[in-house]
Chains A and B, each alone.
Chain A
Amino acid sequence: MAHAGEVVDELQRAREAAEERRLVTSAADGSAAAFEQLYRRHSARIHALCLRMTGNVATAEDCTQEAFVQAWRNLPRFETRSAFGTWLHRIAVNAVLQQVRRRSESLGAGDSIEREVADVLADHATVDPGRSRDLEAAIAGLPPGARHVLVLVGVYGHSHEEASQLLGIAVGTCKAQLHRARALLGARLGGNGEEP
Chain B
Amino acid sequence: MTQDERTPQDAAARLDARLRELPLEVAPGRDLWPDIAARIDERAAAVAPAASRPAWLWQAVAAVVLVAGSSLLTASLLDRNRPVQQSAVPAAPVNGMPAPEAAVMPAAFGPAGHLDPEYLAARTQLTQMLDRRMATMPPAARAKLEFNLGEMRRAADEINAALAEQPGDPLLEELLLKTYQDELAVLSNVSQLTNSLENAPVNTPANVPASPAGKRMQL
Contacts and interface: CB of A to CB of B under 8 A. Distances in A.
Verify that A and B bind, or say they do not: yes
Contacts, number: 115
A32 B146 contact: no
A48 B25 contact: yes
Contacts of B24: 45, 48, 155-156
Interface in B1-35: 3, 11-12, 14-30, 32-33, 35
A109 interface: no
B26 A186 contact: no
B44 interface: yes
A192 to B, nearest CB: 10
B215 interface: no
B206 interface: no
Given A36-B33, A168-B143, A73 B157 contact: yes
A121 B143 contact: no
A154 B139 contact: no
A69 interface: yes
Given A61-B29, A72-B40, A154 B14 contact: no
A61 B28 contact: yes
Interface string B41-71: 1011000000000000000000000000000
Interface stretch (A6-14, A18-26, A125-133): A125-133
A196 B18 contact: yes
A48 B39 CA distance: 22
Nearest to A186: B11
Interface residues on A, range: 35 or more
A35 B40 contact: yes
A15 interface: no
Contacts of B41: 32
A51 B161 CA distance: 29
A115 interface: no
Q: Is the interface of A mostly helix, strand, loop or mixed?
A: helix
Interface in A39-63: 39-40, 43-45, 47-48, 51, 57, 60-61
A41 to B, nearest CB: 10
Interface string A161-196: 000000011101100000000100110000100111
B109 interface: no
Nearest to B21: A127
Contact of B29 (A120, A168, A169): A120
B4 to A, nearest CB: 9
B11 A194 contact: yes
A43 B20 contact: no
Contacts of B146: 168
B17 A169 contact: no
Interface string A23-39: 00000001010011001
Nearest to B28: A47
A74 B157 contact: yes
A64 B124 CA distance: 32
A60 B29 CA distance: 10
A30 B39 CA distance: 14
A154 B16 contact: yes
Contact of B26 (A32, A51, A191, A196): A51
A2 B162 CA distance: 53
Interface string B128-172: 000000000001000100110010000001100100000000000
Contact of A124 (B11, B25, B32, B37): B25
Interface of A: 30, 32, 35-36, 39-40, 43-45, 47-48, 51, 57, 60-61, 64-65, 68-69, 72-74, 94, 120-121, 123-127, 131-132, 135-136, 150, 154-157, 168-170, 172-173, 182, 185-186, 191, 194-196
Given A123-B26, A154-B19, A185-B15, 11 more contacts: A36-B33, A39-B36, A43-B27, A43-B33, A51-B26, A65-B39, A73-B157, A150-B19, A155-B24, A157-B20, A186-B15
